Amino acid sequence: GQNIDQPTEMTATEGAIVQINCTYQTSGFNGLFWYQQHAGEAPTFLSYNVLDGLEEKGRFSSFLSRSKGYSYLLLKELQMKDSASYLCAVGSWGKFQFGAGTQVVVTP
Amino acid sequence: DTAVSQTPKYLVTQMGNDKSIKCEQNLGHDTMYWYKQDSKKFLKIMFSYNNKELIINETVPNRFSPKSPDKAHLNLHINSLELGDSAVYFCASSPDREQPQHFGDGTRLSIL
């Protein structure tokens, strides 16, 4: 199986940094993906990792360690508009399994 | 606009009816998907198609029948709708089966 675990909710202050962790159990996959989903809207792609290490895309970065079964999404310089659910997903040849999502609440 | 578009956006119908949801992408992608997101916001894959061919069928009841007339379209037909089918259904596409996905806006299905 590919059980994917991420925290249910995190709260952080505007301007701060938040790290959302994702752990998984899988026998193999092509890539690990992060999506953002605002309430009532579609998920939108943020970042993904195929190889171990850090991928940086502006304020968002994602990290993967296959040996540890672990990934994280780093959100820097938090803005109010970053309040959303963040979904971790493991992808393998057209099959994508999503975690339940982490609701991030950004406070002034 | 380049996008994944699905229709209708809202679908309210009675138990036992048959309904269809249409999806089209003009991104030139090879792979298309259907997902179900339930009331707990858990996003679960239903089907994946690559160049019109079914590649993933995730133990979905056979009341659900996807059809891909060409690689830009993936429609979903649902027979004998049940209360448990109430959810948001998302269509998505990606350049190939390993790349990030672009999602449509979703179809909110409510069964009375």
Helix (H, G, I), strand (E, B) or coil at B105: coil
Of A33, A44, A94, Cβ closest to residue B55: A94
What pLDDT digit, counting tens, does each position of B41-74 carry?
Answer: 889 999 999 999 999 998 889 999 999 999 999 9
| Averaged pLDDT, B73-89 | 97
* Tokens coding A64: 């993967």
Structure confidence at residue A27 (pLDDT): 67
Contact B2, B53 (CB under 8 A): no
Q: What is the mean pLDDT of residues B26-43?
A: 94
Residues of A in Cβ contact (< 8 Å) with B66: none
- A41 contacts in B (CB within 8 Å)? 105-106
Per-residue b or e along A42-79, where b marks 16 or more CB atoms closer than 10 Å to that residue's CB: bbebbbbbeeeeeeeeeebbbbbebeeeebbbbbeebe
| Structure confidence by residue, pLDDT tens digits, A10-44 | 999 999 999 999 999 876 888 999 999 999 999 99
Using a CB–CB cut-off of 8 Å, the residues of A that contact B are 30-31, 33, 37, 41-45, 48, 85, 87, 91, 93-98, 100-101
Pairing status of strand A95-98 against strand A84-92: antiparallel
A88: nearest CA partner in chain B: B43
Question: Using the beta-carbon criterion (under 8 Å), do A42 and B103 form an inter-chain contact?
Answer: yes
Q: Are B49 and A95 in contact (CB under 8 A)?
A: no
What is the 8-class DSSP label of residue B100? P
Cα separation of A48 and A32, whole Å?
5
Question: Do A45 and B101 make contact, defined as CB atoms within 8 angstroms?
Answer: yes
